[in-house]
Amino acid sequence: MSTMSQLTLTTAIAAVMAFGVTSCGVKTPTQSESQMLIQEIETGNVLLDKWTGPYGGVPPWDKADVSTMSASLSTGFDMARTEIAKIADNASAPNFDNTIVALEKSGAALNRVATVFFVHAGNLNKGEIPNILREMSPKFSQFNDEINQNPALFARVKTIYENMEELNTEQKRLVKNYYDGFVRQGATLNDEDKAAMSKINSRLATLTNSFGQNVLHDEESYITYIEDETGLSGLPDWLKTSMASAAKANDKEGQWAITNTRSSMDPFLTYSDNRAMREKVWNTYYNRGDNGDEWDNNAIITEILQLRDQRAKLLGYETHAHWKLENQMAKNPKNAIALMEKVWPHAIGRAKEEVAEMQAIADGEGVFIKIAPWDYRYYAEKVRKDKYDLDLNEVKPYMQMEKLREGMMWAAGEVYGFDFKLLEDVPVFHEDVRVWEVTNKAGDHIGLWYFDPYARTGKRSGAWMNAYRTQQKLDGKPTTVIVSNNSNFVKGNPGEPVLISWDDAETLFHEFGHALHGLNSKVTYPTLSGTAVSRDYVEFPSQIHERWLMTPEVLNNYAVHYETGEPIPQELVDKIKKASTFRQGFDTTEYLASALIDMKLHMAGGEPIDPDTFERETLEGLGMPSEIVMRHRTPHFNHIFSGGYHAGYYAYLWADSLSADASEAFVEAGGFYDKATAKSFHDNIMSVGNTIDTADGFRAFRGRDVKVDALMRDRGFADKE
């Protein structure tokens, strides 16, 4: 999963830095002082002007014209530059209100057009959008550098940072975040080094965009088709129906398609009896970005790594990883690696046990093969049936996407007091998107939740959360939240329920947890709002919400058979629980391999590398089982070469150690709907955004620091010091 937060602050600062600040101490300012600096101008451009309509204004998807986006973004940059110049050149002495609050309010027009544009880029990336991305990526980088390298602006922030005594805790944290962000982006460099850093940042913006576009190309271009029903052996009916729909969507009606995404590849490899076809699908998927053609990413990777290392050294850091982790919960690569290395031997040890069990079944069938990566899921499923008497095909009929969505909403009502009402009067960017109003038990408006569940051409793969508008109360009155969840389920035929896998259901709940993190926010300053916490903490709340799925209250009422309406049998639930640590060798190993490679790539220094060779030799050195590959091989590792998880993919494991420990607090209290525990979770985790140190927040909830023992128990690994 990943979150994609709304661009706050002056858009580019938050987009590239994701920092925030708030404080001062020179004098007590008047609120009107910053308002005089930042006065929004109506332009007559629907993409730039304040959102209108109900619910505090909504994104104007129905009026968004792609052909005007480039010009609108350029105008937004100019407007934001004018606002920044007014702040930097203000003749009044710097104080919290005329500098920090003014920065919080600046760039609003640019923020609005950028929000609409980037939602298009993630969900409707076709036509002119790729060209606009290519044009605008370096411009966002340039704008970010202009702000961070503005000496007058930094001098004002620095003065406030050095005089924070009279500020409250939230304001002090905001100011510190601003100050640290400026320093981390080169504000203290000399002019020559600033110019070098700007050149690096601009080139990185171009390269990371190209990387993502190349992966998207391979996902949309390399589709495997089956023309004859004999190629469908072993596949359950629901999968065949899904594959037929995918083929029809690609003008291949009468055939069956395995698209080049995880949601299509994974079930095919799990159930297909055709080993040669499994190998073909496996190779197609895991070779994304690595096909030696014009969309190959290896040269891009090498250059990105060199540039990131050069930038880190310009800023005085040992490596890019040291720079990246400085403001994360882990603090440094050593701590992150220590956690991964604690879990790694347990993961590969369990994987070897799993392979032995699978090999025994293959040998018993007389097929005379050695388990290969394209066999792992297929034979693991046979082991699941043999060892746990659990066939996930028996679970699938109870996993109706819409009923589970209702279950998520019910649970949010129980834990946070939220109610959800489907709306018909809000514009959307695609006909598949629906919108709910979120209110509390008193009927107060909290925000809007957009749901975009289905795959389509031009939509990036995976599942994620967006924030279109973050919570804040700068002017003393609340600005409500607009969030979305986006998935890639295959849309069924009209009137037919969409059935998803158990893993997909967990992901659905996980991403909804990110949305709830945004909806529960109760802070003053937008830069500190909602999910604007460190990467290795942001997954923690959402991982807690995954666990709602397994609660009896959700299963008994929302995991119901799509034909009979009967709840999932307790016997089947018991089997799921019993098999909860099944395949942890595979799941943990493929994830940790990616996380370790990410960290090692970003600690390798600036020498040019061959990514394929580095990946192969590093994994061999780690003792990677030959039957498993990285979850995200280096040439298509969007998280680290096109997203924000570079030197940060370890974050999922770090957060999982928090969520495993925190989950035991709920269990000890009687369950995930215990009112007192839920209130503490809300008060210390979900509502505070980035206004407090994350370790302090966890400590306030749990009563102590996190212990890794819960993580080891959760994964079924023997605890070993």
pLDDT in tens, 581-628: 999 999 999 999 999 999 999 999 888 999 999 999 999 999 999 999
Burial of 464 (0-12, 13-18, 19+ CB in 10 A): buried
Q: Residue 489: what residue type? A: F
* pLDDT given at position 719: 54
Q: Residue 628: what residue type? A: I
CB 642 within 8 A of CB 632: no
Which contiguous run of DSSP H or E holds residue 451? strand 445-454
Comma-separated ranges of CATH 1.10.1370.40 domains in the chain: 2-188, 397-544
Q: How far is CA 701 from CA 518, 533, 587, 698, 708, in A?
A: 19, 17, 29, 5, 16
Least confident of 82-96, 426-440, 473-487: 473-487
- Distance (Å, rounded) from C-alpha 425 to C-alpha 643? 33
Strand partners, 93: none
Strand partners, 256: 226
- Distance (Å, rounded) from C-alpha 449 to C-alpha 480? 11
Question: What is residue 96's DSSP assignment?
Answer: I
Question: What is residue 3's DSSP assignment?
Answer: E
Strand partners, 504: none
- Distance (Å, rounded) from C-alpha 116 to C-alpha 73? 10
Helices 333-365 and 584-601 meet at what angle, rounded to 10? Answer: 140
Neighbours of 455 (CB within 10 A): 18
DSSP 641-653: HTSS-TTTTTHHH
Indicate left, alpha or beta for 64 from its phi (over 0: left) and psi (-120 to 50: alpha).
beta
Q: How confident is the model at residue 263 (pLDDT cuts 50, 70, 90)?
A: confident
Catalytic site residue 607?
A: no
CB 160 within 8 A of CB 28: no
* pLDDT given at position 38: 65
* pLDDT given at position 520: 98
Tokens of 2: 């990943």
* pLDDT given at position 36: 53
Question: What is residue 230's DSSP assignment?
Answer: G
Residues 6+ apart with CB under 8 A from 507: 1, 463, 487, 546
Burial of 231 (0-12, 13-18, 19+ CB in 10 A): middle
Helices 611-622 and 298-314 meet at what angle, rounded to 10? Answer: 80
- Distance (Å, rounded) from C-alpha 146 to C-alpha 140? 10
Strand partners, 3: 465
Strand partners, 512: none
Strand partners, 450: 435, 484
Residues 6+ apart with CB under 8 A from 571: none
Render pLDDT for 489-507 as a digit per residue (tens, 0 to 9): 988 888 889 999 999 999 9
* pLDDT given at position 444: 95
CB 120 within 8 A of CB 459: no
> Which CATH architecture describes the domain 2-188?
Orthogonal Bundle (1.10)
Render pLDDT for 361-401 as a digit per residue (tens, 0 to 9): 999 999 999 999 999 999 999 999 999 999 989 999 999 99
Q: Are strands 481-489 and 445-454 parallel, antiparallel or unpaired?
A: parallel
Q: What is the mean pLDDT of the chain?
A: 92
* pLDDT given at position 475: 85
Looking from the CA of 658 toward its CB, the CA atoms found within 13 Å total: 28
Burial of 301 (0-12, 13-18, 19+ CB in 10 A): buried
Render pLDDT for 431-453 as a digit per residue (tens, 0 to 9): 999 999 999 999 999 999 999 99
Looking from the CA of 708 toward its CB, the CA atoms found within 13 Å total: 15
Tokens of 239: 């999968």
Q: How far is CA 381 from CA 269, 388, 584, 659, in A?
A: 10, 10, 13, 27
Q: How confident is the model at residue 477 (pLDDT cuts 50, 70, 90)?
A: confident
* pLDDT given at position 129: 94
Dihedral sign, CA of 101, 106, 112, 115?
Answer: negative
- Distance (Å, rounded) from C-alpha 124 to C-alpha 65? 13
Residues 6+ apart with CB under 8 A from 93: 26, 27, 159
Q: Are strands 419-423 and 2-4 parallel, antiparallel or unpaired?
A: unpaired
Tokens of 302: 């090498």
Render pLDDT for 89-104 as a digit per residue (tens, 0 to 9): 999 999 999 999 999 9
Dihedral sign, CA of 442, 443, 449, 454?
Answer: positive
First to last CA, the chain: 30
Comma-separated ranges of CATH 1.10.1370.10 domains in the chain: 298-390+582-649
Q: How confident is the model at residue 671 (pLDDT cuts 50, 70, 90)?
A: very high
Over residues 75-97, mean pLDDT: 97
Q: How confident is the model at residue 718 (pLDDT cuts 50, 70, 90)?
A: low
Q: Are strands 445-454 and 2-4 parallel, antiparallel or unpaired?
A: unpaired
Q: Residue 604: what residue type? A: A
Over residues 319-337, mean pLDDT: 96
Residues 6+ apart with CB under 8 A from 255: 225, 226, 227, 244, 247
Tokens of 197: 């850093």
Render pLDDT for 674-686 as a digit per residue (tens, 0 to 9): 999 999 999 999 9
Cα angle 310, 316, 320; round to 5 = 50
> Does 6 have pLDDT greater than 70?
no
Looking from the CA of 247 toward its CB, the CA atoms found within 13 Å total: 18
- Distance (Å, rounded) from C-alpha 483 to C-alpha 419? 15
Counting other chains too, the contacts that 691-697 makes at CB distance below 8 Å and 24 or more residues apart are 691/169, 691/170, 691/173, 691/523, 691/528, 692/169, 692/173, 694/329, 694/533, 694/534, 694/537, 695/329
> Does 29 have pLDDT greater than 70?
no
* pLDDT given at position 14: 39
> Measuring CA to CA, which residue among 237, 49, 216 is closest to residue 130?
216
> Does 176 have pLDDT greater than 60?
yes
Strand partners, 447: 438, 481
Q: How far is CA 223 from CA 208, 250, 437, 607, in A?
A: 24, 9, 38, 36
Strand partners, 499: 400
User: Which residue in the block uniquely carries the two structure tokens 């040439």?
Assistant: 635
CATH number of 298-390+582-649: 1.10.1370.10
In CATH terms, the fold of domain 397-544 is Neurolysin; domain 3 (1.10.1370)
Cα angle 353, 355, 357; round to 5 = 70
Which residue of the set 104, 220, 511, 539 is catalytic? 511
- Distance (Å, rounded) from C-alpha 158 to C-alpha 188? 11
* pLDDT given at position 35: 54
Render pLDDT for 43-59 as a digit per residue (tens, 0 to 9): 889 999 999 999 999 99
No. of helices (H) and no. of strands (E), the chain: 29, 8
Please tell me the pTM assigned to this model. Answer: 0.90
- Distance (Å, rounded) from C-alpha 601 to C-alpha 630? 14
Neighbours of 425 (CB within 10 A): 10
Dihedral sign, CA of 573, 574, 576, 581?
Answer: positive
- Distance (Å, rounded) from C-alpha 404 to C-alpha 567? 12
Tokens of 542: 């959402």
Least confident of 207-221, 279-293, 396-410, 705-719: 705-719
> Does 24 have pLDDT greater than 80?
no
